[in-house]
């Protein structure tokens, strides 16, 4: 049973592991997409109190961005507008803007969806997957017969360390 579950879930385990590593570093590298073009433009700005969601959407149209609007944010003297396939970063003092056009990274962007997907069926599948990982872990402890490397002699210490290590990190970081 241990081997069969392991074989069945190996692809999903690898996908979750790789996408999890990529998501851990999403602030420094956007693995989900890559830039294919960057344009610099000059924009005439209204007063800051008129920078609203409607302004951001209209600005996208003025800049010939024919794309689904996602969100906008004004922060640190910059207006950032996010579209499905484009990002705009505008300096509010100078009106200088940069438009980054990007496309989704094949395969990697789909793998990252495993961590983001919240549909009901995927949640239940994730629960079954979690229970299966627990089953694989428990049945794995029974595979090594008694001896120096058995769970009874030394495995339980390593398993306990594996549980304590992330708890210590959570407490002190």
Mean pLDDT along residues 88-113: 88
Whether residue 113 is predicted with pLDDT greater than 80 in this model: the reply is: no
pLDDT-derived band at 1 (thresholds 50, 70, 90) equals low
Which residue reads 């629960």 in tokens? 127
- The DSSP line for 25-91 is TTTT--TTEEEEEEEEEE-----GGG--HHHHHHHHHHTT--S-EEEEEEETTEEEEEESSEEEEEE
> Among 155, 137, 135, which Cα is nearest to 145's?
155
Separation CA 105–CA 103 (nearest Å):
6
Separation CA 3–CA 118 (nearest Å):
29
What percent of the chain stands above pLDDT 90?
Answer: 31
Domain spans of the chain? 2-27+116-172, 33-104
- Looking at residue 2, its pLDDT comes to 63
Contacts of residue 105, Cβ cutoff 8 Å, sequence gap at least 6? 31, 32, 33, 34
Mean pLDDT along residues 84-101: 94
> Among 138, 136, 139, 116, which Cα is nearest to 126's?
116
Q: Write out pLDDT tens, residues 36-86.
A: 999 999 998 888 888 999 999 999 999 999 999 999 999 998 999 999 999
- Looking at residue 117, its pLDDT comes to 65
Q: Write out pLDDT tens, residues 3-41.
A: 676 677 777 777 777 777 777 777 777 777 888 999 999
Q: How far apart are the first and last CA of the chain?
A: 38
State the average pLDDT for the chain: 83
Pick the more confident residue, 118 or 14. 14
């Amino acid at each position: 049973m241990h081997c069969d579950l392991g074989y069945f879930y190996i692809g999903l385990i690898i996908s979750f592991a790789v996408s999890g590593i990529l998501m851990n570093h999403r602030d420094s590298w956007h693995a989900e997409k890559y830039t294919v073009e960057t344009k610099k433009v000059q924009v005439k700005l209204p007063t800051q109190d008129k920078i609203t969601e409607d302004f951001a959407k209209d600005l996208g149209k003025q800049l010939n961005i024919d794309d689904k609007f996602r969100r906008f944010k004004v922060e640190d003297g910059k207006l950032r507008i996010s579209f499905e396939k484009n990002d705009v970063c505008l300096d509010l003092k100078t009106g200088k803007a940069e438009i980054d056009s990007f496309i989704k990274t094949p395969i990697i962007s789909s793998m990252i969806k495993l961590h983001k997907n919240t549909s009901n069926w995927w949640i239940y599948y994730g629960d079954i997957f979690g229970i299966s990982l627990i089953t694989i872990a428990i049945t794995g402890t029974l595979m090594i017969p008694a001896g120096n490397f058995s769970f009874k002699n030394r495995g339980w210490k390593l398993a306990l360390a594996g549980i304590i290590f992330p708890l210590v990190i959570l407490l002190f970081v």
